[in-house]
Amino acid sequence: MRRSDYHLVTTSNSEIMLRVRARGRRILRNPVANRGTAFTMEQRAELALSGLLPGKVSTIEEQLRRTYAQYSRSPSPLSKYIYLSQLRDRNEVLFYRLLSENLEEMLPIIYTPTIGEAIERFSHEYVGQRGLFLSIDRPELMEQSLANYELDGDDVDLVVVTDSEGILGIGDQGIGGIQIALGKLSVYTAAAGIHPRRAVPIVLDVGTDNLGLLHSDVYLGEHHARVRGERYDAFIEAFVAAVTKQFPNAMLHWEDFGAGNAHRILERYSDRICTFNDDIQGTAAVVLAAVLAAVRLTGVPLRQHRVVVFGAGTAGVGIADIIREAMIRDGLDADRAHDQFYAFNSRGLIVEDGTGVRDFQQPYARSRSEVDGWDVADPVRITLDETVRAVQPTILIGTSAQTGAFARPVVTAMAQSCERPIIMPLSNPTSRSEAHPADLLDWTDGRALIATGSPYGTIRHGEVYHTIAQANNALIFPGLGLGVSVVRATRVSDQMIYASAAALAGLVNEYRPGASLLPSMSDLRLVAAAVALAVARTAEQQGLARTPMTNPINDIYQRMWKPEYPRLEVLPVEGE
């Protein structure tokens, strides 16, 4: 669309108004302006739409009933995803209204797990796409490409970017990763009310190591191996410089970068710009919230818990880092905090003289002198079962994508020495989960406190119905982005991440037997508002807010866009 044809403005009383200069079929082709059969007769006359629509004027409620019925008739999750994508590209307000009113049902479609299939099928199903595609082979076009998105610096609160190397457990997916950026932005809007036109999805095309994509004639990305090393780092640096110049008030959200780059990039830029990595910090915050709720039930102070992290990749180490910081807040000596953790990579327990230990895993390596006294079959590859028997952990976290890794011997050994074992098989999808929660309840006689990565709903054990908490990042990142945007924070600090977790944990009423350790996904709007308030207040306390709040509750509430058709102001056609 031409920027002069449509312009969204916020009035003095916080009402969103759309100024329209276009006419006729151009209106119906633009998802911002189009409202289909909901155009009134007066609007149809003013906008030259008479005769282009059926005669009946529909309310948005009537449109919602029609679109939900069409959605429900779609025969598969992928076809439902495609239907919703087409609706979004046809009528943005109607899409977000439908999503907002059915968020718990539709979240698995527009986000994980269905979006994984959509990403894999991206080049095959391509019919036009929102978002920006920035190629490492044409870095000189970066600034122009950002300008081509036709948004000014004050218009953007959020940029979600991926290089698609570590997509949702399915690995390198090339430029198909643009779909995960779009999915994240849909959740930001539906859960936290960040206006869809104040966010930009971007994929960095640095090549792919996916041989299936490279040998496919329909693949739409660069046909060469993934670029690494100095050239990759220079491209990332150029991107950060260009995007912060074009959108100086936006939070830069990194998504699904490979483990080798994610921690490194976050560490490099976290003190320079307002930036956030959901795989590291978002996952860590939502898991910490579940841990804090579970710890309250155990009656044992957090600082006294022993934690096993099975799968010390991007997410696993991020979880260990934030729990470690929480333990220090709880009074544990900082020099001893790493001693409470036992981390695993693909070669077993991470030991200081082991092979394949990455830099970000090194702080969690155990000393050789400690493990020499354990009863193990192979000291070079110490297993999860052997570690559980040796250290008697109270918290077991799985981010390994190894199906069934939390087997019965592991769980029963843990339960023998721990009255209320906290067990969190977090790997997605369900086919990769370390354990099924029903088994965990059976093996611990219903004593386990459980959070999972996938939705499991309610499971009966004996006379108690256990609502299984889903540790979904959607409980954290929308509210964090909203809080940052409300105060225009200059950085995302560790204290802001901790505040988001504490706010989430504070919404849990875990004292009913079998109650969930986290809020329901159906409460995402409430959750996002509470998280945003805690994040914004922390940013103010740390002196990171460029726009301090005057009335915090109202400031948060007013920024949460509601998907309603805006008031139209019809402008004269240019040249009239």
- In terms of domains, do 464 and 345 share one? yes
| 150 burial type by CB count under 10 A (0-12 exposed, 13-18 middle, 19+ buried) | exposed
Does residue 277 have a pLDDT over 80? yes
Q: Regarding predicted confidence, which is higher, 107 or 394?
A: 394
Is 245 among the residues known to form the active site? no
pLDDT tens per residue, range 252-263: 999 999 988 999
Assign residue 401 a region (left: φ > 0; alpha: ψ between -120 and 50; beta: otherwise).
left
Answer yes or no: is 58 within a domain. no
For residue 338, the model assigns a pLDDT of 92
Is 111 considered catalytic here? yes
Say how far apart CA 516 and CA 466 lie, in whole Å.
Answer: 7
Q: Are 224 and 253 contained in the same domain?
A: yes
Same domain, 509 and 453: no
Q: What is the CATH number of the domain that holds 392?
A: 3.40.50.720
pLDDT recorded at residue 213: 96
User: Is a pLDDT exceeding 90 seen at residue 154?
Assistant: no
Do 151 and 223 lie in a common domain?
A: yes
Domain coverage including residue 212: 103-257
Q: Of 471, 500, 533, which marks where a domain is finished?
A: 471
pLDDT higher than threshold 70 for residue 575: no
Q: Is 50 exceeded by the pLDDT of residue 225? A: yes
Return d(Cα 103, Cα 86) in angstroms, integer: 17
Residues 299 and 424 in one domain: yes
Give which of 333, 461, 321, 330 is closest to 397, Cα–Cα: 321
Q: Which of 6, 81, 111, 456 is catalytic?
A: 111
333 and 457 together in one domain: yes
pLDDT, position 446 = 97
Same domain, 373 and 408: yes
Question: Catalytic pick from 6, 80, 81, 184?
Answer: 184
Query: Does the residue 109 lie in any domain?
Result: yes
- What CATH number is associated with residue 247? 3.40.50.10380
Does residue 484 belong to any structural domain of this protein?
yes
pLDDT of residue 1 exceeding 50, the answer is: no
Q: Place 512 in a pLDDT band, splitting at 50, 70 and 90.
A: confident
186, 110 Cβ separation under 8 angstroms: yes
- Examine the domain organization and report whether 148 and 173 are in the same domain: yes
- pLDDT-derived band at 244 (thresholds 50, 70, 90) equals very high
Mean pLDDT value across the chain: 93
Token pair in block for residue 517: 């350790």
Helix/strand/coil (H/E/C) assignment for every residue in 7-53: EEEECCCCCEEEEECCCCHHHHCCCCCCCHHHCCHHHHHHCCCCCCC
User: Model confidence over 337-392: pLDDT tens digits?
Assistant: 999 999 999 899 999 988 888 889 999 999 999 999 899 999 999 999 999 999 99
User: Per-residue pLDDT tens for 172-218?
Assistant: 999 999 999 999 999 999 999 999 999 999 999 999 999 999 999 99
- Overall domain count for the chain: 3
In this prediction the pTM is 0.92
Say yes or no: 165 and 143 in one domain. Answer: yes
Residue 488 placed within a domain: yes
Q: Point out the domain boundary residue: 471, 501, 517.
A: 471
Q: Which of 241, 257, 273 is the last residue of a domain?
A: 257
Q: Could you give the dihedral angle defined by the CA atoms of residues 264, 270, 272 and 276, in that order, rounded to the nearest 10 degrees?
A: 110
* Helical spans, DSSP H, in 330-471: 368-371, 384-391, 408-416, 437-443
Q: Is the dihedral of CA 541, 543, 546, 548 positive or negative?
A: positive
What letter does residue 135 receive in the DSSP assignment? Answer: E
Looking at the fold, whether 291 and 253 belong to one and the same domain comes out as no
